[in-house]
Structure 1
């Protein structure tokens, strides 16, 4: 299940100080609603790259993301999960060259909205990296996507399925469901 909230706070300084805490609150709510688990009472364990999990509920997977004033959370007892939310802004061509394949870069530059297309690729890649729990130690350029106008997403990652959420002109959210 995916949970999101958008804060009415517009200044970066304020929201950057509370986004992490609100992400924890959103996760607390999600775990209570979906699994009747009281997050604050649960011991956590960290994998070698720092991804947290519930020590007493190893089959429940979760992930949190925040960007500017938007916070997102996903939980699953079926899949390892990763989520990334990003505010659409002017993309950095240097970053695109570092993380995108040649085909993805062509799609970005041929688009009428290159910023949006870049952040679709970015959030999809980031959601996968978060699902596998290895942080940025996994090269993003090794992951490639084809996004079709009907919403279908193909990748070179057969063990995953992906979901893009574009419910506003301001943010893009991607979720990765990794078969375990």
Structure 2
């Protein structure tokens, strides 16, 4: 297995339209379980995001970790978190919002969340955020208050996804403190150490990573749909 470190891959959906050939190829490449889920989705946007999420994982595993597509299979833990069958040493996570779909793979438990920064009632923080988190948002300049909210939100989601226990972890049962140099987690129910990173270079979006190891990559590999097409064809031809 040639991969040695975390890799984050993201695809920007410039147009929510897969031509018939690309859609057929993609449906043949992804798992039967995913294909069945895609067929049940009503909106084209949701179908495309779901397909691209798994394709990013498969391309990442193939190119960075040397695993042929035919050997990539998925299973789920008791909380419904997907994981790789026959490759327990590797962990992955997928998130999508708006026009971005992002996937990450590493050798340790990991979670990610990407959110489009749509205008929102910041009063939501009163329901789900700890006092320190609400104070962090209030201390932001007016033009950064929405960003502050989504920083906290994506951190919380990435942590929940990394732990892999789903909605059994309430959003207000743990909290974050953000400083200039580091992000601190406070969770009285867990003794595990987790590390975090926030990315704001996807314009109009916030991306957060939660990892069980401190060496979180600075780089997000970005692709357009057109660039992804040749990679999908390569997977299909294996």
Q: Confirm or deny a common fold (TM above 0.5).
A: yes
1:96 aligned onto 2:125: yes
Per-residue CA deviation, residues 52-104 of structure 1 (Å, 9 max, x unaligned), is 11120011000000001101111011x10001000111233343222210111
Whole-Å separation in 2 of the counterparts to 1:160 and 1:82: 11
Deviation at 1:10, TM superposition (A): 7.0
Per-residue CA deviation, residues 83-129 of structure 1 (Å, 9 max, x unaligned), is 10001112333432222101111221232221110100010110010
Superposition pairs of residues 47-126 of structure 1, within 5 angstroms: 47-77=77-107, 79-112=108-141, 113-126=144-157
Deviation at 1:40, TM superposition (A): 4.9
| 1:169 match | 203
| 1:9 match | 15
Q: So what's the TM-score if we normalise by structure 1?
A: 0.89
| 1:24 match | 54
Q: Which protein is bigger by CA-based radius of gyration? A: 2
Give the 3-state SS of the residue equivalent to 2:198 in structure 1.
strand
Give the 3-state SS of the residue equivalent to 2:202 in structure 1.
coil
| 2:72 match | 42
Aligned positions, number: 176
Deviation at 1:140, TM superposition (A): 1.4
Whole-Å separation in 1 of the counterparts to 2:112 and 2:57: 12
Q: So what's the TM-score if we normalise by structure 2?
A: 0.68
| 2:37 match | none
Deviation at 1:170, TM superposition (A): 0.6
Deviation at 1:168, TM superposition (A): 3.3
Determine if contact 1:9/1:15 at 8 Å carries over to the other structure.
no
